[in-house]
Amino acid sequence: MGEEMQYYKVFYTDRPLPAGEEPDYFFIIPLDFVTKEEAMSKAFKLIFSGAVVWKIEGPDGFRIDRKEIERQYRIFKST
């Protein structure tokens, strides 16, 4: 048996969500990516298109929340 593939998951919604509010988990959509870089790139594209990226989770306990994702997006956008 091979080792289980571990993914980075981007959780997002395309429904409006004010900062600080919990999402309706019924509308959260997970997307799987092999690398952290792919996950972050997709998260930035989703934010650019108006979606709300709720969190990114990955192997070995990696987790980044909405606030940090949006902070990194602002940095990315300003470069």
Buried (b) or exposed (e) across 21-41, using 16+ Cβ within 10 A? eebeeeeeeebebeeeeebbe
pLDDT digits (tens, 9 = 90+) for 26-64: 889 999 999 999 999 999 999 999 999 999 999 999 999
- Top pLDDT among 32 and 25 is at 32
Is the model's pLDDT at 2 over the cut of 60? no
Q: Where are the domains of the chain?
A: 8-78
